[in-house]
């Protein structure tokens, strides 16, 4: 057993992680932040997928990304981030369109349409990679399993003039050596992957803030939404577009296989604790933080893939939430069974009239 599980070194796994320049080049603090951003963005969108019973559409989009990457390479002969992102986004939106066409124009149900779309596009991607990209440096493993280490890669550096450096030195947080280097007069920001995922999370929060009521009504009762004059189709397509952008942005870090866990686990865990949607959305952010934090420490302890460790840590949070759930957990069921039976006053055994 000792050969399978390495000894737990508290100083190396816990202390050294946060004292050895966590937000420098290859710092593990960036891994925690990147994991939080991915889980938060995916989890917030995933809550509405759970309400609509469309959890597998995220899986479909994440697998169709491979075909989009291959087609983008064939069109541009480049692995540039911009071309790859556009190709993956087109593939994600195409998946949503194919699912809608199959579901609405035939007798095939939505879950079967999702299965047809993502397996077909994923197979197409595998063929394109094998035929046209086998002599390239395309790393399919990164597409499938993610490469969150990019989030701890080179920091973006911006050269400053003396006047700009003096101005930034008066701003709290930015005037720390972590961000502002006076010797070289450079402003050091987060890695590109972290900045990109930050923009996506902000976009998700903004959309939820602006269209929260419409999304809730469309998710719970589409018929009521139509009677209120809400364009249900437009909001459905808008949510699918937001989902595509989120999945495409997240798969670089966690891969096509694990992104579905990031979409479903946060919301599923939060639904076990509360039945109020605003609270559920807040708990989703808490889940994202805890799963990424515990996952990074678990990955360093066992020397395993960080995104997989985050999902394992998140699964542990899900099991804990299920055990202590005030609604459906085994402890709640046990307390209800042990609670004395409450009779109405007119049926109480002490009431002679009964």
Supply the pLDDT for residue 150.
67
* Interval 135-171: pLDDT, tens: 666 665 566 666 666 666 677 777 777 777 778 777 7
Per-residue confidence (pLDDT) for residue 160, from 0 to 100: 76
Structural domain boundaries, residue 291:
10-336
Annotate the chain with three-state secondary structure.
Answer: CCCCCCCCCHHHHHHHHHHCCCCCCCCHHHHHHHHHHHHHHHHHHHHHHHHCCCCHHHHHHHHHHHHHHHHHHHHHCCCCHHHHHHHHHHHHHHHHHHHHHHHHHCCCCHHHHHHHHHHHHHHHHHHHHHHHCCCCCCCHHHHHHCCHHHHHCCEEEEECCHHHHHHHCCCCCCCCCCCEECCCCEEEEEEHHHHHHHHHHHHHHHHHHHCHHHHHHHHHCHHHHHHCCCCHHHHHHHHHHHHHHHHHHHHHHHHHHHHHHHHHHHHHHHHHHCCCHHHHHHHHHHHHHHHHHHHHHHHHHHCCCHHHHHHHHHHHHHHHHHHCCCCCCHHHHHHHHHCCCCCCHHHCCCCCCC
Asked, for residue 354, whether it belongs to a domain, the answer is no
Q: What are phi and psi of 122, to 5 degrees?
A: -65, -40
State residue 286's pLDDT score: 96
pLDDT over 60 (residue 332):
yes
Q: How many other C-beta atoms can be found within 10 angstroms of the C-beta atom of residue 294?
A: 19
Sheet holding 180-181, edge to edge: 155-159, 186-191, 180-181
- What does the alpha-carbon distance between residue 128 and residue 119 come to, in Å, rounded to a whole number? 14
What was the pLDDT predicted at 266?
94
What tokens were used for 203? 């976009």
Q: What is the pLDDT of residue 273?
A: 93
Q: What is the mean pLDDT of residues 189-211?
A: 89
Report the C-alpha gap between 61 and 98 in whole angstroms.
11
Residue 134 has pLDDT above 90, yes or no: no
Helix crossing, 232-273 with 277-302: angle to 10°?
60
Range 213-224 average pLDDT: 90
Q: Establish if 348 belongs to a structural domain.
A: no
How confident is residue 350, by pLDDT bands cut at 50, 70 and 90? low
Q: Are strands 186-191 and 180-181 parallel, antiparallel or unpaired?
A: antiparallel
Tokens 């149900």 correspond to 109
Residue 39 is assigned to a structural domain of this protein: yes
- Asked if pLDDT for residue 349 goes beyond 90, the answer is no
In percent, how much of the chain has pLDDT > 90?
24
Residue 243: what pLDDT? 87
Q: Exposure string (b/e) for 106-118, b if CB count within 10 Å is 16 or more?
A: eeeebeebbebbb
> pLDDT tier at 71 (50, 70, 90 boundaries)?
confident
Cβ-proximal residues to 163 (8 Å cutoff; 6+ apart), any chain? none
Q: Does 175 map to a domain?
A: yes
Any domain includes 341? no
Mean pLDDT of the chain: 82
Q: Is residue 345 part of a domain?
A: no
Q: How many residues does the chain have?
A: 354
Tell me: the pLDDT tens digits for 6-36?
888 888 888 888 888 787 767 788 889 989 9
- The answer on pLDDT for 62 being more than 90 is no
Question: Is the pLDDT at 201 greater than 90, yes or no?
Answer: yes
Q: Is residue 344 a part of any domain in this protein?
A: no
- 258 against 3, higher pLDDT: 258
Arithmetic mean of pLDDT, 72-77: 83
pLDDT digits (tens, 9 = 90+) for 265-311: 999 999 999 989 999 999 999 999 999 999 999 999 988 888 889 99
The answer to whether residue 5 sits within a structural domain is: no
For residue 292, give the CATH number of its domain.
1.10.3470.10
Q: What's the total number of domains in the chain?
A: 1
Q: Residue 206: which pLDDT band, with cuts at 50, 70 and 90? A: very high
- Model pLDDT, residue 18: 87
- Residue 269 CA, chain-centre distance (Å), reads 13
Mean pLDDT of 94-121: 86
Other CB atoms closer than 10 Å to residue 240's CB: what's the count?
A: 22
- Select from 278, 205, 273 the least CA-distant residue to 242: 205
Q: What mean pLDDT do residues 29-53 have?
A: 91
């Amino acid at each position: 057993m000792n050969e399978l599980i390495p000894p737990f070194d508290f100083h190396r796994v816990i202390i050294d992680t946060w004292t050895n320049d966590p937000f420098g080049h290859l710092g593990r603090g960036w891994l925690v932040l990147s994991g939080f951003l991915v889980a938060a963005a995916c989890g917030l969108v995933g809550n509405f997928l759970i309400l609509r019973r469309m959890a597998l559409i995220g899986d479909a989009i994440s697998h169709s990304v491979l075909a989009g990457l291959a087609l983008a390479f064939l069109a541009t002969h480049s692995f540039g981030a911009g071309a790859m992102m556009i190709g993956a986004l087109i593939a994600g939106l195409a998946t949503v369109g194919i699912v809608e066409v199959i579901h609405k124009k035939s007798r095939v149900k939505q879950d079967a349409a999702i299965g047809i779309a993502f397996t077909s596009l994923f197979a197409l991607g595998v063929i394109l990679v094998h035929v046209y990209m086998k002599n390239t440096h395309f790393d399919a493993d990164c597409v499938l399993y993610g490469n969150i280490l990019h989030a701890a890669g080179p920091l973006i550096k911006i050269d400053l003039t003396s006047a700009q450096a003096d101005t930034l030195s008066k701003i709290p947080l930015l005037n720390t050596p972590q961000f502002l280097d006076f010797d070289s007069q450079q402003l050091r920001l987060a890695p590109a992957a972290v900045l990109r995922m930050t923009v996506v999370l902000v976009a998700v929060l903004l959309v939820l803030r602006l269209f929260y009521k419409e999304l809730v009504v469309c998710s719970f009762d589409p018929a009521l939404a139509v009677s209120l004059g809400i364009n249900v189709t437009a909001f459905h397509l808008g949510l699918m577009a937001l989902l595509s952008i989120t999945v495409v942005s997240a798969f670089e870090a966690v891969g096509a296989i694990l992104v579905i866990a990031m979409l479903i686990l946060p919301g599923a865990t939060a639904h076990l604790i509360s039945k109020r949607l605003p609270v559920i959305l807040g708990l989703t952010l808490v889940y994202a933080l805890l799963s990424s934090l515990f996952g990074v420490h678990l990955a360093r302890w066992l020397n395993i893939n960080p995104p997989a460790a985050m999902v394992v840590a998140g699964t542990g949070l899900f099991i804990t939430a299920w055990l202590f759930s005030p609604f459906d957990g085994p402890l709640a069921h046990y307390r209800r069974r042990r609670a004395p039976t409450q009779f109405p006053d007119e049926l109480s055994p002490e009431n002679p009239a009964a």
